[in-house]
Amino acid sequence: MKQGLKAQLKKIKLFMIDVDGALAKPNIIWAGSFDGNGLHEIKEFCVHDGAASWAAKEAGLLRVLVSGRDSTVVRHRAERMKVDGIYLNNLNKLDVLKMVREKYHLLEEEIAYIGDDFLDLPILQRVGLPVAVSDAVPEVKRAARYVTRKKGGEGAVAETIRLILTSQGKWKEGYQKAIEKAYLPKE
């Protein structure tokens, strides 16, 4: 790993995660119902991303989900991942970056962002650690400081969380605390 990247990874306090194409596979499936109750949305997520998110929480890495679309499915996934924030239905992700910076009192260099498509370019050009999933469009890969080995929706978020926390010496602590909490007896 390049020395400059190692130094940047150590500064990261918050990880912004694009949903469609990074956290979820880059497909949106709408299924109609025979009873006339409208459309149902189907998304495919990777369980590794959720588990890594729990480890990140325990290690103190803030995580927020970002999407230009609103989605009940994404809201449910955010709850299961125990993220710190969710910003949906806003195509202007620079507005979201500003809100996140103000809410958490962070500098742009303390924020990582993972994306896959050209709508992510403005925010990738501003954050301290721009990340592209391996199946991102060429423009996003060029703008990224790190390109994951995993595809969007197939563990790219977990890979990035592990990279950040490992560089900060917090990965083992994070996953061990997550395991302990998962196995605590229920009262």
CA distances from 17 to 8, 26, 63, 119, 186 (A): 18, 14, 7, 13, 31
User: Which of the two residues, 29 and 15, has the higher pLDDT score?
Assistant: 15
pLDDT of residue 118: 95
158 within 8 A of 141, measured Cβ to Cβ: no
Phi then psi for residue 56, to 5 deg, are: -60, -45
Please write the tens of the pLDDT for every residue from 134-184: 999 999 999 999 999 999 999 999 999 999 999 999 999 999 999 998 887
Res 139: pLDDT: 97
Please give the model's pTM, rounded to 2 decimal places.
0.92
Cα 103 to Cα 30: distance, rounded to the nearest angstrom:
34
Per-residue pLDDT reduced to its tens digit, 47-79: 999 999 999 999 999 999 999 888 889 999 999
Cβ–Cβ under 8 Å, residues 46 and 162: no
Give the span between the Cα atoms of 120 and 139, in whole angstroms.
10
Task: Identify the structural domains of the chain with CATH numbers, from first to last.
Answer: 3-182 (3.40.50.1000)
The answer to whether the beta carbons of residues 151 and 135 sit under 8 Å apart is yes
> Would the pLDDT of 31 be above 90?
no
Work out the pLDDT band at 45, boundaries 50, 70, 90: very high
Share of the chain above pLDDT 90, in %: 80
Cross-strand bridge partners of residue 111: 14
pLDDT of residue 122 exceeding 80, the answer is yes
Backbone angles phi, psi at 91, to 5 degrees: -70, -25
| Mean model confidence pLDDT for the chain | 92
